[in-house]
Amino acid sequence: MGHKTAQQADKEGWLSSGDSSGTSGDVLPSIFSRKPRDFSLPSSSWGEEMMRLYNYYNSQSEEATEGQEDHGEQWTRLPSYNRSLKYATGGVYLSKIIQSKARLFTRNIRDPGAAFEYVVFSRQDKQRCVCVFQAGHLLEGPPGHVHGGAIATMIDTVTGTHASLLSAPVMTANLNINYRRPIPLGSTVLIESTLDKEEGKKKFILCSVTSTDGSRVHTEATALFVSVSVSHLLRG
Protein backbone atom coordinates (compact mmCIF):
# COMPACT_ATOMS: atom_id res chain seq x y z
CA MET A 1 0.00 0.00 0.00
CA GLY A 2 1.27 3.43 -0.87
CA HIS A 3 -0.30 5.51 1.86
CA LYS A 4 1.18 6.47 5.20
CA THR A 5 -0.31 5.43 8.51
CA ALA A 6 -1.76 8.21 10.63
CA GLN A 7 1.12 7.83 13.08
CA GLN A 8 3.69 8.26 10.32
CA ALA A 9 1.84 11.25 8.94
CA ASP A 10 1.62 12.80 12.38
CA LYS A 11 5.33 12.28 13.04
CA GLU A 12 6.12 13.99 9.75
CA GLY A 13 4.01 17.01 10.56
CA TRP A 14 1.24 16.33 8.06
CA LEU A 15 -1.49 16.32 10.70
CA SER A 16 -2.64 19.16 12.89
CA SER A 17 -0.44 19.34 15.98
CA GLY A 18 -3.42 20.36 18.07
CA ASP A 19 -5.19 17.09 17.41
CA SER A 20 -2.76 14.28 18.05
CA SER A 21 -4.82 12.30 20.56
CA GLY A 22 -7.08 9.34 19.75
CA THR A 23 -6.56 5.63 19.22
CA SER A 24 -4.67 4.31 16.22
CA GLY A 25 -6.46 1.05 15.29
CA ASP A 26 -7.24 0.67 11.59
CA VAL A 27 -5.47 3.07 9.27
CA LEU A 28 -8.41 4.54 7.36
CA PRO A 29 -10.73 5.36 10.28
CA SER A 30 -7.86 6.91 12.24
CA ILE A 31 -6.96 9.17 9.31
CA PHE A 32 -10.51 10.41 9.16
CA SER A 33 -10.86 10.90 12.88
CA ARG A 34 -8.07 13.47 12.74
CA LYS A 35 -7.97 16.90 11.24
CA PRO A 36 -5.49 17.33 8.40
CA ARG A 37 -3.03 20.16 8.98
CA ASP A 38 -4.12 23.56 7.72
CA PHE A 39 -0.92 25.09 6.31
CA SER A 40 -2.45 28.57 6.14
CA LEU A 41 -2.20 28.96 9.93
CA PRO A 42 0.89 30.55 11.52
CA SER A 43 3.90 28.38 12.40
CA SER A 44 7.07 29.21 14.31
CA SER A 45 8.85 29.54 10.97
CA TRP A 46 6.85 32.62 10.01
CA GLY A 47 8.91 35.79 10.30
CA GLU A 48 7.87 39.15 11.72
CA GLU A 49 6.68 40.59 8.38
CA MET A 50 4.67 37.45 7.53
CA MET A 51 2.97 37.59 10.97
CA ARG A 52 2.31 41.32 10.70
CA LEU A 53 0.50 40.93 7.36
CA TYR A 54 -1.31 37.78 8.47
CA ASN A 55 -2.65 39.66 11.48
CA TYR A 56 -3.57 42.65 9.37
CA TYR A 57 -5.72 40.72 6.88
CA ASN A 58 -7.17 38.56 9.64
CA SER A 59 -8.24 41.71 11.50
CA GLN A 60 -10.14 42.73 8.34
CA SER A 61 -12.23 39.54 8.45
CA GLU A 62 -16.02 39.34 8.58
CA GLU A 63 -16.22 38.82 12.33
CA ALA A 64 -13.92 41.71 13.08
CA THR A 65 -15.76 44.27 10.94
CA GLU A 66 -19.37 43.24 11.44
CA GLY A 67 -20.70 46.73 11.91
CA GLN A 68 -19.28 48.12 8.66
CA GLU A 69 -21.44 49.19 5.72
CA ASP A 70 -18.94 48.37 2.97
CA HIS A 71 -18.24 44.64 2.90
CA GLY A 72 -15.85 44.97 -0.08
CA GLU A 73 -12.73 45.26 2.06
CA GLN A 74 -13.52 42.30 4.29
CA TRP A 75 -11.05 39.44 3.83
CA THR A 76 -11.50 35.73 4.48
CA ARG A 77 -8.54 33.42 5.12
CA LEU A 78 -8.64 30.33 2.88
CA PRO A 79 -7.47 27.07 4.46
CA SER A 80 -4.73 25.07 2.66
CA TYR A 81 -3.98 21.33 2.77
CA ASN A 82 -1.36 19.07 1.21
CA ARG A 83 -3.80 16.91 -0.71
CA SER A 84 -7.01 17.28 -2.71
CA LEU A 85 -9.35 16.94 0.27
CA LYS A 86 -12.05 19.11 -1.22
CA TYR A 87 -12.75 16.52 -3.89
CA ALA A 88 -12.97 13.69 -1.35
CA THR A 89 -16.73 13.31 -1.51
CA GLY A 90 -16.87 9.53 -1.35
CA GLY A 91 -16.94 6.36 -3.43
CA VAL A 92 -14.25 5.48 -5.91
CA TYR A 93 -12.71 8.97 -6.03
CA LEU A 94 -12.31 9.10 -2.26
CA SER A 95 -10.69 5.68 -2.24
CA LYS A 96 -8.28 6.74 -5.03
CA ILE A 97 -7.26 9.80 -3.06
CA ILE A 98 -6.72 7.85 0.17
CA GLN A 99 -4.47 5.34 -1.57
CA SER A 100 -2.52 7.96 -3.45
CA LYS A 101 0.86 9.17 -2.25
CA ALA A 102 0.28 12.33 -4.26
CA ARG A 103 0.74 15.63 -2.43
CA LEU A 104 0.11 19.22 -3.44
CA PHE A 105 3.31 20.62 -4.97
CA THR A 106 3.39 23.76 -2.79
CA ARG A 107 2.81 21.84 0.49
CA ASN A 108 5.11 18.85 -0.04
CA ILE A 109 8.09 19.84 2.14
CA ARG A 110 7.98 18.95 5.82
CA ASP A 111 10.68 21.26 7.15
CA PRO A 112 8.77 24.37 8.35
CA GLY A 113 9.91 27.57 6.65
CA ALA A 114 12.20 25.77 4.19
CA ALA A 115 10.05 26.20 1.09
CA PHE A 116 6.64 27.83 0.44
CA GLU A 117 5.08 29.52 3.47
CA TYR A 118 1.94 31.34 2.41
CA VAL A 119 -1.61 32.23 3.25
CA VAL A 120 -4.29 33.41 0.82
CA PHE A 121 -7.15 35.76 1.72
CA SER A 122 -10.13 36.43 -0.55
CA ARG A 123 -12.15 39.62 -0.57
CA GLN A 124 -15.86 39.38 0.17
CA ASP A 125 -16.87 40.32 -3.40
CA LYS A 126 -14.46 37.69 -4.87
CA GLN A 127 -12.98 40.30 -7.22
CA ARG A 128 -9.58 40.11 -5.49
CA CYS A 129 -7.33 37.76 -3.54
CA VAL A 130 -4.15 38.57 -1.69
CA CYS A 131 -1.38 36.18 -0.62
CA VAL A 132 1.37 36.74 1.92
CA PHE A 133 4.34 34.62 0.80
CA GLN A 134 7.59 33.94 2.66
CA ALA A 135 10.17 32.30 0.39
CA GLY A 136 12.32 29.62 2.08
CA HIS A 137 15.90 28.58 1.35
CA LEU A 138 14.93 25.49 -0.69
CA LEU A 139 13.45 27.65 -3.46
CA GLU A 140 16.75 28.88 -4.87
CA GLY A 141 17.24 29.72 -8.54
CA PRO A 142 19.86 32.43 -9.15
CA PRO A 143 22.33 32.49 -6.19
CA GLY A 144 20.51 33.88 -3.12
CA HIS A 145 17.25 34.47 -4.99
CA VAL A 146 13.96 32.71 -5.63
CA HIS A 147 13.73 30.39 -8.67
CA GLY A 148 11.61 31.73 -11.55
CA GLY A 149 9.65 28.47 -11.42
CA ALA A 150 8.88 28.91 -7.72
CA ILE A 151 7.55 32.41 -8.44
CA ALA A 152 5.47 31.00 -11.34
CA THR A 153 4.20 28.33 -8.95
CA MET A 154 2.97 30.91 -6.45
CA ILE A 155 1.36 32.99 -9.22
CA ASP A 156 -0.41 29.87 -10.53
CA THR A 157 -1.47 28.96 -6.99
CA VAL A 158 -2.89 32.35 -6.03
CA THR A 159 -4.63 33.10 -9.35
CA GLY A 160 -5.86 29.47 -9.55
CA THR A 161 -7.25 29.67 -6.01
CA HIS A 162 -8.96 32.91 -7.02
CA ALA A 163 -10.44 31.38 -10.21
CA SER A 164 -11.66 28.36 -8.18
CA LEU A 165 -13.60 30.64 -5.85
CA LEU A 166 -15.59 31.86 -8.87
CA SER A 167 -16.27 28.33 -10.17
CA ALA A 168 -14.29 25.24 -9.13
CA PRO A 169 -12.62 23.27 -10.54
CA VAL A 170 -10.44 25.07 -13.07
CA MET A 171 -7.32 24.28 -15.08
CA THR A 172 -4.57 26.73 -15.97
CA ALA A 173 -4.72 27.53 -19.71
CA ASN A 174 -2.11 30.34 -19.88
CA LEU A 175 0.40 32.10 -17.66
CA ASN A 176 2.31 35.09 -19.03
CA ILE A 177 4.89 36.24 -16.51
CA ASN A 178 7.19 39.26 -16.58
CA TYR A 179 10.05 39.04 -14.09
CA ARG A 180 11.05 42.61 -13.15
CA ARG A 181 13.29 42.26 -10.06
CA PRO A 182 14.62 39.13 -8.37
CA ILE A 183 13.17 38.17 -4.95
CA PRO A 184 15.79 37.49 -2.23
CA LEU A 185 15.51 34.11 -0.50
CA GLY A 186 13.96 34.50 2.95
CA SER A 187 11.98 37.62 2.12
CA THR A 188 8.23 38.11 2.45
CA VAL A 189 6.27 39.50 -0.50
CA LEU A 190 2.67 40.27 -1.36
CA ILE A 191 0.94 38.53 -4.28
CA GLU A 192 -2.25 40.19 -5.48
CA SER A 193 -4.76 38.64 -7.86
CA THR A 194 -7.47 40.74 -9.52
CA LEU A 195 -10.30 39.43 -11.69
CA ASP A 196 -10.03 41.09 -15.09
CA LYS A 197 -13.03 39.51 -16.86
CA GLU A 198 -15.09 36.34 -17.21
CA GLU A 199 -16.18 34.95 -20.59
CA GLY A 200 -18.19 31.75 -20.36
CA LYS A 201 -15.88 29.10 -18.90
CA LYS A 202 -12.86 31.45 -19.08
CA LYS A 203 -11.53 33.60 -16.27
CA PHE A 204 -8.90 36.25 -17.03
CA ILE A 205 -6.86 37.29 -14.02
CA LEU A 206 -4.15 39.90 -13.37
CA CYS A 207 -1.42 39.27 -10.82
CA SER A 208 1.45 41.19 -9.25
CA VAL A 209 4.20 40.29 -6.81
CA THR A 210 5.45 43.30 -4.83
CA SER A 211 7.36 44.21 -1.71
CA THR A 212 5.00 44.22 1.29
CA ASP A 213 4.72 48.03 1.22
CA GLY A 214 3.91 47.90 -2.50
CA SER A 215 6.85 50.14 -3.44
CA ARG A 216 8.81 47.56 -5.46
CA VAL A 217 7.30 45.42 -8.23
CA HIS A 218 9.03 42.04 -8.48
CA THR A 219 6.79 40.26 -10.98
CA GLU A 220 3.70 40.98 -13.09
CA ALA A 221 1.55 38.36 -14.80
CA THR A 222 -1.69 37.55 -16.53
CA ALA A 223 -3.40 34.20 -16.07
CA LEU A 224 -6.21 32.42 -17.91
CA PHE A 225 -8.21 29.59 -16.33
CA VAL A 226 -10.86 27.36 -17.87
CA SER A 227 -13.55 25.52 -15.90
CA VAL A 228 -13.41 21.71 -16.20
CA SER A 229 -15.25 18.74 -14.71
CA VAL A 230 -13.58 16.89 -11.83
CA SER A 231 -14.71 13.46 -13.05
CA HIS A 232 -12.75 14.09 -16.25
CA LEU A 233 -9.55 14.50 -14.24
CA LEU A 234 -10.13 11.63 -11.83
CA ARG A 235 -11.10 9.13 -14.55
CA GLY A 236 -7.46 8.58 -15.65
Residues at the site binding a second copy, with contacts judged by CB under 8 A? 83-84, 87, 93, 96-97, 100-106, 108-109, 114-115, 137-150, 152-157, 160, 169, 171-179, 182, 184-185, 228, 230, 233-234, 236
Residue 10 CA to residue 14 CA, distance in Å, equals 6
CB of 155 to a second copy, least distance (A): 8
> What is the CB neighbour count within 10 angstroms for residue 188?
22
CB of 205 to a second copy, least distance (A): 13
- Residue 161: what are its φ and ψ, rounded to 5°? -60, -45
Residue 119 CA to residue 108 CA, distance in Å, equals 15
Nearer to a second copy (CB atom), residue 64 or residue 114? 114
CB of 119 to a second copy, least distance (A): 17
CB of 179 to a second copy, least distance (A): 5
Q: What long-range pairs does 33-42 form, CB within 8 A, spacing at least 24? A: 34/6, 34/10, 36/81, 36/82, 36/83, 36/85, 37/13, 37/81, 37/82, 38/79, 38/80, 38/81, 39/80, 39/81, 39/82, 39/107, 40/77, 40/78, 40/79, 40/80, 40/118, 40/119, 40/120, 41/119
Nearer to a second copy (CB atom), residue 52 or residue 137? 137
Nearer to a second copy (CB atom), residue 68 or residue 108? 108
For residue 184, what are the β-bridge partners?
145
Nearer to a second copy (CB atom), residue 71 or residue 232? 232
Catalytic residue IDs: 156
